[in-house]
Amino acid sequence: MANVGFIGLGNMGMPMGGRLVDAGHRVRCYDTSAAALERAAARGLLPGSDVCSAVQEADFVISMLPSGSDVLAVFGERTDGRTLPLREGCVVIDCSTIDVNSCAAFHHSVALRNLLTLDAPVSGGVEGAAKGTLTFMVGGSQAAFDAALPVLEAMGKKIVHAGAAGAGQIAKICNNMIAGISMIAVSEALTLGQRLGLDAKKLFEISSASSGQCWALTSYAPVPGLVPAAPSNRDYQGGFASELMLKDLRLAEQAAIGSGTPALLGAAAAALYGMHCKTGKGRLDFSSIVQMLNEGERK
Amino acid sequence: MANVGFIGLGNMGMPMGGRLVDAGHRVRCYDTSAAALERAAARGLLPGSDVCSAVQEADFVISMLPSGSDVLAVFGERTDGRTLPLREGCVVIDCSTIDVNSCAAFHHSVALRNLLTLDAPVSGGVEGAAKGTLTFMVGGSQAAFDAALPVLEAMGKKIVHAGAAGAGQIAKICNNMIAGISMIAVSEALTLGQRLGLDAKKLFEISSASSGQCWALTSYAPVPGLVPAAPSNRDYQGGFASELMLKDLRLAEQAAIGSGTPALLGAAAAALYGMHCKTGKGRLDFSSIVQMLNEGERK
Amino acid sequence: MANVGFIGLGNMGMPMGGRLVDAGHRVRCYDTSAAALERAAARGLLPGSDVCSAVQEADFVISMLPSGSDVLAVFGERTDGRTLPLREGCVVIDCSTIDVNSCAAFHHSVALRNLLTLDAPVSGGVEGAAKGTLTFMVGGSQAAFDAALPVLEAMGKKIVHAGAAGAGQIAKICNNMIAGISMIAVSEALTLGQRLGLDAKKLFEISSASSGQCWALTSYAPVPGLVPAAPSNRDYQGGFASELMLKDLRLAEQAAIGSGTPALLGAAAAALYGMHCKTGKGRLDFSSIVQMLNEGERK
Amino acid sequence: MANVGFIGLGNMGMPMGGRLVDAGHRVRCYDTSAAALERAAARGLLPGSDVCSAVQEADFVISMLPSGSDVLAVFGERTDGRTLPLREGCVVIDCSTIDVNSCAAFHHSVALRNLLTLDAPVSGGVEGAAKGTLTFMVGGSQAAFDAALPVLEAMGKKIVHAGAAGAGQIAKICNNMIAGISMIAVSEALTLGQRLGLDAKKLFEISSASSGQCWALTSYAPVPGLVPAAPSNRDYQGGFASELMLKDLRLAEQAAIGSGTPALLGAAAAALYGMHCKTGKGRLDFSSIVQMLNEGERK
């Protein structure tokens, strides 16, 4: 069993840390929220008084933070002048979903100290975190991947080594860009079909076995009555929030700008989710985008 | 065995008629091209001297024509003043992919004569037509569908009754709109990944089992080396031509305008395929759209 | 003074007909709404009992109708079997804004009877109609244009001969497509600037004299406080309704599809206005599109 | 007359420095290209051996560099450990067009040393730089603006104080985003009109006096024969290069992402210019985007 330092106890970090406790690890943790630290203690984690105390004895340091600047505030050059007290041999795993530039800076910063690093963003949501069924998309050296695998397996079901440093983030945003675009595509097609008198079930049946087949339709249809488990059947509660899809689409758009990739549909999807979230639907599942096409005609 | 009148002997119509001959039907046919009629005779069809002679004894009339105006020139009000000599009890099946308004006019025109009608556009391409493995998406009454089924089964492997008159066309354009959009989405994601250093095989592996899964990626990947049978591995020869995808996207866009559906990504996909075809790539498979993102940086 | 037959007494047609009365013409009129006919009588027009009685003695027939099918219902092949009783030498002027195909059919239908025809859509709105300050964009022969000029001048201030039959409609939808796109462009730029701390007045001042100059900014700015007369200063009341801009953008999009022009921004603008109207804002001035970018962040 | 340190002697920087020499200033300069330094000497500037020697005696330091990282490499924390030797009282003016984050970091870095700073990107191109007719969009304190005005007036005709630090960059990218979008809008409208048979001159005449009026049409029309001075009349040579418009559109898109502004048309314009530049047209004037709509139909 290992000593783990866990930083960031939000909706995802808390249950991920809990899974590590369940697996028998000794998990010191830190979050800027005192309430989160209390909940963590109740879940069997050991709250540190600050981020340094949480990581100083750790074999593995794991972070799950909202943004690249949060990650760099912990692992990059610190404004308080202190150096994060990481042990020799410690493996540092950032599970946050962040922009590719910050991710590169994270690897660079920690690698300067001769420590192994991984970017390992996840998919699977809060439920996957609680059940330990997350998918990890992992970027970093083979040595780092091998070292971290047992710890990651305590939190996830599928651990994919996507490539060198950064590859985890890239894989995640590329995948989610496809997911976001195809969700809008499916929403447009289902709406168009319905307006023209085509039964949604028929389009579902036909496209599920044809060139229009995609996860957004077949496994997660945005209109009710097609896929029983889909959030569309429960008023778009739960699932993967529109505001999280928007975050990932923006990360993809930034990466496209940075790399000179003219990803028009990706950028359009980001803008459409941006408008959708502005109407107050950011916390609804991302399949609720279908409502933009369907709102009350005249108010 | 039935008497069939077959109108339109292009890349699709010719092998479809041939399959009917193979199944033992007596197939009179017509096309405005004398060369096509000669090839049809060589394939065992019986060329008529005009469209009337091709259909006048037919139990089933099947058309496979380029556009809605072609279909209405045959079945609508004729400029030559003659009425198409359709037998009582004849079932009229239009297999063309056409706009929803022309399709409605086709049904209306023929139904006035108390004949059963179907719209039955296909997918599966030239190869599917030759092998009799087409998918038919069929709109029309149950009676018409039941009557036509044996004939359709001689040409296709999968015959789906999508709904009432017009539902076949609608299902096809809705499906292909998803396919066109998701092909661009996959092209953007693969290009973005590659620019950022992600191995395309890794993205393929990850997304094929995740929320980015779609036919355009998993079965038809637009970059070589991922799906052996995909046209990307043979310089985008064969497959489903970009200009045909453009045609279907435009039909979908027209239908979206007509029905007041703000299908932004569908319209954007139509415009992108429009620009792609203008660069001379209309006959390449539609997965060649990936080249718009990847062309030589500076010439 | 001339005998005029005026068909279509809506928000635009009524004051246009009134202007003709003021100019001393004898204006017989027709509308399917009895209430409209009553208001017309009060304004000095002479209501006909049906469309035929309104036009049968007319030197000029003018129509102002909502859509292409309405225009063809009057001037095309009539379902009631009657032929519209147009006098020899009568000039027929359609002022409706309609699709290019219907416009061509209108000219064709009437020209078969050896009458002069014009398409003459207008800009300037209800206020321009009331004051006789409309702009007419006119398509048709020089002879027809010359003949109609005195009548048009009673209703408008600027009469432009755009070209042959159809050119009036084409000019109008091309112009309005630029207007719709640039209004969104200006909305995006003003919103972006404000979010980044730039005073809208400064951007207004700079762009009004630079490469970003456009009517949508300089004469009709979508945020209040920049152009006193702009609808943005009166809660987007009056002006040119979003639903009318949407209509014109859809006509342009249809024409783009029909002519194989990959007008991506035009189609995107149509879709954005489509979504905007669905939220109940169709009757607000089209500069209200800025609200799509600015709505309450989280409800 | 002042001592000026000028950093960056590219297509723009060289003639700007030359104008300062002409105005009687003593201009020390630096560039990483030895050839540029030789040309600068020939133009009357005084080449420094390194960036430090160019600025150490300067009353005004002016930079004209390609990107935000170049600017920060000079004024930010330097990797060589040396501090840029800026005199007390020196005013630092960055004329580069860069991203808003780097611009903020530039101001912050230099302001720490109690020096006045301005961001002052320009429009007007190489010709404007040579003739001293540039427009400067300036962000920074009133004191800095007042101090720098005489120096800026030696290089430009119009000096606009856009607001506080950063406002110059923001104004430029907002303005150019409108310009890029409206250029595409005009290209779509002119192409659509021509395909439908409308004379481009007629659309030009009509829209120049209507709601479609914009600089991109009226002053810079993308098809030849409308505006004599426009680059479209000289095969799109000269003018404002497509690759520079692409750069500015990407800066705007980045700023939109960073500020949560769903600027769909801005992002679409960036993607379209990205594809245009990939076909080898990056150095043609940005009005050449019209060619994307018009390329040879089938090659």
DSSP string for residues in C31-94: -S-HHHHHHHHHTT-EE-SSHHHHHTT-SEEEE--SSHHHHHHHHS--TTSPPP-PPTT-EEEE
CB-CB: which of C257, C268, C271 is closest to B254?
C257
- Residue pair C18/C132 in contact by the 8 Å Cβ criterion: no
**If we measure between CA atoms, which residue out of D290, D230, D204 comes closest to residue C163?**
D204
- Residue pair D86/D53 in contact by the 8 Å Cβ criterion: no
CB-CB: which of B179, B186, B192 is closest to A259?
B192
The rounded distance, in Å, linking the Cα atoms of D62 and C6 is 68
Instruction: Band the pLDDT of A1: cuts 50, 70, 90.
Output: confident
Each residue's pLDDT tens digit, D153-192: 999 999 999 999 999 999 999 999 999 999 999 999 999 9
Is the pLDDT at D80 greater than 70, yes or no?
A: no
- Residue pair A281/B250 in contact by the 8 Å Cβ criterion: no
For helices A167-195 and A200-208, what crossing angle results, to 10°? 140
The rounded distance, in Å, linking the Cα atoms of D18 and D41 is 10
For chain A, positions 238-277, list CB contacts with chain D under 8 A. 250, 253-254, 257, 260-264, 267-268, 270-275
Residue identified by tokens 């420094």 is D48
Nearest C-alpha of chain C: how many angstroms from D42? 33
Structure tokens at B192: 């973005």
Nearest CA in chain D to A255: D254
- The arithmetic mean of pLDDT across residues C170-192, rounded, is 98
Q: Does the active-site annotation cover A172?
A: yes
Is the pLDDT at C299 greater than 60, yes or no?
A: no
Chains in contact with B, counting 3 or more C-beta pairs less than 8 Å apart as contact:
A, C, D
CA atoms within 13 A on the CB side of A68: 18
The rounded distance, in Å, linking the Cα atoms of A186 and A217 is 6
Each residue's pLDDT tens digit, B128-141: 999 999 999 999 99
Chains in contact with A, counting 3 or more C-beta pairs less than 8 Å apart as contact:
B, C, D
Rounded to two decimals, the pTM is 0.96
Q: Do B198 and A265 touch (CB under 8 A)?
A: no
Q: Phi and psi dihedrals of D294, rounded to 5? A: -130, 5
Instruction: Band the pLDDT of C33: cuts 50, 70, 90.
Output: very high
- The arithmetic mean of pLDDT across residues B56-69, rounded, is 97
pLDDT for the residue numbered C79: 64
Is the pLDDT at D82 greater than 80, yes or no?
A: no
Q: Phi and psi dihedrals of C61, rounded to 5? A: -110, 125
Is the pLDDT at D292 greater than 90, yes or no?
A: yes
Residue identified by tokens 């023929």 is B110
Instruction: Band the pLDDT of B79: cuts 50, 70, 90.
Output: low
Best B175, B190, B218 residue to mutate vs chain A (most A CBs within 10 Å):
B175
Q: Do D267 and A272 touch (CB under 8 A)?
A: no
CB-CB: which of B199, B206, B252 is closest to A192?
B252
pLDDT for the residue numbered D1: 86
What percent of chain C lies above the pLDDT cut of 70? 97
Structure tokens at D177: 């985003």
- The arithmetic mean of pLDDT across residues D50-69, rounded, is 96
Q: Phi and psi dihedrals of A161, rounded to 5? A: -90, 100
Residue identified by tokens 């599966």 is B124
Q: Phi and psi dihedrals of A16, rounded to 5? A: -65, -45
The rounded distance, in Å, linking the Cα atoms of D180 and D194 is 21
- Which string of DSSP letters, residue by residue, matches B127-139? HHHHHT-EEEEEE
Asked if A97 is an interface residue toward chain B (Cβ–Cβ < 8 A), one would say no
Structure tokens at A206: 């036909």
B77-86, B132-141, C206-215, D266-275: which range is least confident on average?
B77-86
**Cβ atoms within 10 Å, residue C205:** 15
Is the pLDDT at B296 greater than 70, yes or no?
A: no
Instruction: Band the pLDDT of D79: cuts 50, 70, 90.
Output: low
The rounded distance, in Å, linking the Cα atoms of B117 and B112 is 11
Each residue's pLDDT tens digit, C219-265: 999 999 999 999 999 999 989 999 999 999 999 999 999 999 999 99
> Residue type for A64, please?
M
pLDDT for the residue numbered B82: 72
pLDDT for the residue numbered D9: 97
Instruction: Band the pLDDT of A227: cuts 50, 70, 90.
Output: very high
Positions of C annotated as catalytic residues are: 172
Best C133, C161, C175 residue to mutate vs chain D (most D CBs within 10 Å):
C175
Each residue's pLDDT tens digit, B255-292: 999 999 999 999 999 999 999 999 999 999 999 999 99
Q: Which residues contact A146 (CB under 8 A, 6 or more apart)?
A: none
**If we measure between CA atoms, which residue out of D135, D105, D102, D101 comes closest to residue D12?**
D135
Q: Phi and psi dihedrals of A135, rounded to 5? A: -100, 130
Is the pLDDT at B45 greater than 50, yes or no?
A: yes
Helix%, strand%, coil% for chain B, nearest 5: 50, 15, 35
- Residue pair B196/A173 in contact by the 8 Å Cβ criterion: no
> Residue type for B131, please?
K
- The arithmetic mean of pLDDT across residues B172-187, rounded, is 98
For helices C34-42 and C13-22, what crossing angle results, to 10°? 30
Nearest CA in chain A to B167: A198
The rounded distance, in Å, linking the Cα atoms of A222 and C103 is 39
**How far does chain C reach from its first CA to its final CA, in angstroms?**
61
- Whole-number mean pLDDT of chain B? 95
The rounded distance, in Å, linking the Cα atoms of D181 and B193 is 28
Instruction: Band the pLDDT of B1: cuts 50, 70, 90.
Output: confident
- The arithmetic mean of pLDDT across residues A118-147, rounded, is 96
The rounded distance, in Å, linking the Cα atoms of C6 and C47 is 9
Nearest C-alpha of chain C: how many angstroms from D96? 18
Each residue's pLDDT tens digit, B119-128: 999 999 899 9
3-state secondary structure of C3: strand
Buried b (16+ CB within 10 A) or exposed e, D180-198: bbbbbbbbbbbbbbbbbeb
**If we measure between CA atoms, which residue out of C245, C132, C92, C87 comes closest to residue C181?**
C245
Q: Phi and psi dihedrals of C12, rounded to 5? A: -95, -50
pLDDT for the residue numbered C83: 81
3-state secondary structure of B38: helix
Best D175, D219, D244, D273 residue to mutate vs chain C (most C CBs within 10 Å):
D175
Is the pLDDT at B297 greater than 70, yes or no?
A: no
Each residue's pLDDT tens digit, D206-254: 999 999 999 999 999 999 999 999 999 999 998 999 999 999 999 999 9
CA atoms within 13 A on the CB side of D104: 7
ipTM: 0.95
Each residue's pLDDT tens digit, C135-160: 999 999 999 999 999 999 999 999 99
> Residue type for B39, please?
R
What percent of chain A lies above the pLDDT cut of 70? 97
pLDDT for the residue numbered A80: 66
Instruction: Band the pLDDT of A299: cuts 50, 70, 90.
Output: very low
Is the pLDDT at D141 greater than 80, yes or no?
A: yes
3-state secondary structure of C13: helix
The rounded distance, in Å, linking the Cα atoms of B239 and C70 is 43
Structure tokens at D201: 């001159």
What percent of chain D lies above the pLDDT cut of 90? 93
Burial of A8 (0-12, 13-18, 19+ CB in 10 A): buried
Catalytic residue among D172, D201, D281, D299: D172
pLDDT for the residue numbered C298: 40
pLDDT for the residue numbered B76: 87
Structure tokens at A266: 């990706």
Is the pLDDT at D298 greater than 50, yes or no?
A: no
pLDDT for the residue numbered B205: 96
| Cα–Cα distances in angstroms (integers) from residue A276 to residues A273, A281, C269, D83, in the given order | 5, 6, 17, 47
What percent of chain D lies above the pLDDT cut of 70? 97
Provide Rg for chain C, Cα atoms: 21
Structure tokens at C51: 């469309």
pLDDT for the residue numbered C296: 64
The rounded distance, in Å, linking the Cα atoms of C223 and A189 is 34
